[in-house]
Structure 1
Amino acid sequence: MTHAETLRTLIQTDPLCMTVLKNARQLTLLDWAIGAGFIRNRVWDHLYHKDPCLPDDIDFLYFDASDVSPAADKTIEKKALTQAPDFPWSVKNQARMHLKNKDAPYRNTADAIAHWLETPTAIAVRLEADDRLTIMAPFGLEDLFSGTVRPTPSGQKKMDQYSARLKGKNWQARWPDLTIIKAA
């Protein structure tokens, strides 16, 4: 089984994951995904035989260049909370996030993910209308499934931010067998 097949199986057989994705899909945005810790944590919990846990937030990404206001994010987040109030939604329009990250403008959600700082976090999925899962993984799935944390090309350019994330996330407290690469 390939990593993509394993990821699809993990998500499709997890009622919580599917509930989150179905709720996100109901918001009927054109270019969206759920990513970061929502995917990474589920895979690592599986690899290291931990009970699955919900991350601190559910990174709901979308791309809409027609309204890049933070208020638009709050409106979508409010709708998500109305549908699923127990989930810690964190809604961000990736058409605006390049400003915060001091990058060139992103072209779409998948392009924004390619600018995240570490490889096992730079992964997201979208549940399509036919219940197929689209995986966005610009750096592949190998690091995620091998428990390796390394900087992406953007992370290599922003090593201070990458290092701060490593320290702040403290992933090895939950998953001690991870391999953390601290420098490129």
Structure 2
Amino acid sequence: MSTYSSNQEQFMYQTIIKWITDDRWMMDILRNVRSLSLPDSWVCAGFVRSKIWDQLHQIEPRTPLTDIDVVYYDATDLDKKTEKVWEQQLSRIQPELPWSVKNEARMHIVNGIAPYDSTVDAISYFPETATALGVRLDEQDQLILVAPCGLTDVFEMNIRVNPHFLQGRGDMETYTQRIQQKNWQHTWDRLTVVDS
């Protein structure tokens, strides 16, 4: 996980924190997720990435999200039905949102790889470096951002395969098909698909 030690990384980190903190809609979502007290929970992937790319492209209003990805880690309950219960609870709070809740303590079974040891470990295997992002609010209402693959690619608007994804469950064919299907460059025309 990046320690945000360089000045550039620290600037990117603080910029994203400000963008999200200033976004009432995002903060409401983060507070509602926190209210469930899910263990090691984060709102991740497109929720964070799309905000950054919208800001860099000066897109308003926000680009619609196909889902709000909520991930948590609970090795004591691997029942898929439990995830649906949490989705239903979030849907009662904000029924207009496309919630998707996943227990990362279970997802290694779905993905056919060794178990993750935390939610952040699972995020580190997301397909693109620019998607391997998560945010949450702590009890003091401070925003925490994790970026296991760093922030450079998302800020430089590069779409690059995550090496961990390839080491885990992924292959280049699956990744390429995903990029074609997502067609992010149609929405954010300054993106570059980088061959790694």
Q: Does 1:178 align with 2:188?
A: no
Query: Among residues 84, 89, 99, which one is paired with 1:79 in the alignment?
Result: 89
| TM-score, structure 2 as length reference | 0.90
Contact 1:155 1:161 in 2 (8 A): no
Matches within 5 A, 1:82-101: 82-101=92-111
Any idea what SS the aligned residue of 1:2 has?
Answer: helix
Q: Distance in 2 between matches of 1:25 and 1:12?
A: 15
Pairs within 5 Å for 1:45-124: 45-51=54-60, 52-124=62-134
Distance 2:192 2:66 in 1: 22
Query: What is the aligned counterpart of 1:33 among 42, 49, 61?
Result: 42
CA shift for structure 1 position 110:
0.2
Flag structure 2 segments of 5+ consecutive residues without an equivalent.
1-9
C-alpha distance after superposition, 1:23-78 (max 9, x if no partner): 10110112100011100001000001111133110000011011111101001111
Q: TM-score, with normalisation over the residues of structure 1? A: 0.95
Deviates more, 1:151-160 or 1:122-131: 151-160
**Equivalent-residue separation in structure 2 for 1:173 and 1:130 (angstroms):** 39
Higher mean alpha-carbon deviation, 101-110 vs 37-46, is at: 101-110
Q: How many positions carry a matched residue from both structures?
A: 183
5+ long unaligned stretches in structure 1: none
How far is 1:86 from its partner?
1.2
CA RMSD, 1 decimal: 1.2
Deviation of the 1:154 alpha carbon: 2.8
Q: Pick the aligned partner of 1:6 from 4, 12, 15.
A: 15
Q: What corresponds to 1:19 in structure 2?
A: 28
Secondary structure (helix, strand or coil) at the match of 2:70 reads strand
